[in-house]
Structures are given as C-alpha cells and as structure tokens.
Amino acid sequence: MYYWNQDNFEGLRSVGEKYSSLDGYELFGKYCLQKEQGFKKLAVATVKEFVSCSKSRSLEEQRVIAEELSSLGFWNGEIHQLLSHPLVEFLKEVLELWALDEPRNPTPLRWLGYIGGDISYYERALQLDPADEICITRIAQAHMNDVDFQTHHLSESLFLGDFNDAKNSLQSANYLIKRLSTEGIRSKMQNELEYYNCLLGFWEEYSKLGINEPFPDWCASKGEKFNFWSIVYYDR
C-alpha cells in the first residue's frame, strides 16, 4: 500500500500508537495517526492544537517536550513527516530560549543543531561536552559532505573548490571519528573517510599527469572504481 514511503507511514503509525497513551503527548500521537491515515487537514489542526497546549505548560515541561521530540525525530529519520512545520517552529523557540537561559548546557544546543540544521550549534555543544557522539558524528559527517560536494563532478574530471581545503576537511573528520567510542558508528564512518581519502589520492596523482583521459577511465585502468555521480544538464 505504501510503496516507497512505507517506512514513513509505518513509523507514523508506530509512534502514534505509542504516544497516544503518554500523558501530555496524546495530541501528538493523534496527529501521527491522522497523518498516517492521510487526513492531512485534520492532522494540521491537531498538531497546532498540540503546540498550543504545550505552550500553556510550564517552562520545564516545554523543555522536556522539546528534548523528547527532537530526540525522537533524530533517531527516526526515515519518518520524514514526523515533525511538521508548526511543531518544528515550537521546538526551535523552546530550544533557543533554553540555550540562552542555560549557556553552559549542551542539550539545547545539540538539538538546535538537529532541528535548525545548523552545524555551528553542534560545534558549540561539543565544546561543552567533548564526548557527545551525536555532535561528533554530525560535525564529522559535515566535513565529509563538503568533500562529497567538491568531488561530485569528478565524473567529468572536474574538481570543485580548493584541493587543500578538501584534505583539511578529511583531516578534521578523521580527528573527530577517532574520538568515537561506539565501535559500529566509528567503523562505518572510518570506511567512508577511507573512501574519500582514496578518491582524493587518485585525483591528486591524476591531476599531476596532465593527460586527456577522463578521470573515471584512468581510475578504472588502475583497478579502482569509485561511485561517480551522474551529471545531467538541462537546456532552458
């Protein structure tokens, strides 16, 4: 029934069933179930009602809600309809005020990094809690994402940006990944890091040769196959 969006809808149902019976989260659970069933207008009205009710709660209760739902969204990324716009705006407001009131508390900064999509919040939170693995992984991933962007035209033998900047990004990612204590996460990120280090190494060697052979073909001749992006251009 759900086809490609199956994880999202099944996740909404699972979360909805759980939170419908939790004190203070009944409306949020109801929203999830309505969203899963396709009742879009009802779901919007319900989540707005949940936000309104949450705003009437004490400051401490609002912070508990903000931490709970931010964490829920972070660990359930496949449920992409979990946090609607009105709810995200409420969470941001609570977390921003919390961060101002408690500038030495990494918790609101960590979740602002997720809710706001701003890596600087993760960096500030990590300064306060150097062992925070969520912040470590997100910052390290941001460094590797920068390299991914710089290399996504290598299928056309074109490197974007400054090569040394890319190498520095991988060095920063490597430093952070080594700080991870969770073996599974560290191993997965190290594999990704090794991939980009290898890619940059091949590009550095290739770019010094001054040859016309396309970079992917040259890599293949060396027995190395990378996951080159497919670039599509459209004429207006």
Give residue-wise pLDDT tens across range 150-201. 999 999 999 999 999 999 999 999 999 999 999 999 999 999 999 999 999 9
Provide the pLDDT for residue 4.
61
pLDDT-derived band at 235 (thresholds 50, 70, 90) equals low
Rg (CA), the chain: 22
Flag whether 52 is in a domain. yes
Residue located via tokens 């500030």 = 124
Flag whether 14 is in a domain. yes
- Whether residues 73 and 34 share a domain: the answer is yes
Structure tokens at 155: 């299928």
Flag whether 53 is in a domain. yes
- Whether residues 68 and 29 share a domain: the answer is yes
Say if residue 233's pLDDT is above 60.
no
How many residues make up the chain in this entry? 236
Structure tokens at 226: 């990378």
pTM above 0.75, yes or no: yes
C-alpha closest to that of 156 among 196, 212, 117, 116 = 212
Contact by Cβ (8 Å): 147, 169? yes
Say if residue 110's pLDDT is above 80.
yes
- Whether residues 60 and 151 share a domain: the answer is no
Residue type at 215 in one-letter notation: F
- DSSP annotation of 225 reads -
Render 215-235 in DSSP notation, one character per residue.
Answer: HHHHHHHTT----PPPP----
Give the chain's domain count.
Answer: 2
C-alpha closest to that of 177 among 112, 104, 169, 114 = 169
In terms of residue numbers, what domain contains 47?
3-102
Flag whether 214 is in a domain. yes
Flag whether 127 is in a domain. no
- Whether residues 72 and 153 share a domain: the answer is no
- Whether residues 84 and 24 share a domain: the answer is yes
C-alpha closest to that of 140 among 97, 93, 177 = 177
pLDDT-derived band at 231 (thresholds 50, 70, 90) equals low
Mean pLDDT of the chain: 94
- Whether residues 14 and 71 share a domain: the answer is yes
C-alpha closest to that of 54 among 72, 27, 32, 30 = 27
pLDDT-derived band at 229 (thresholds 50, 70, 90) equals confident
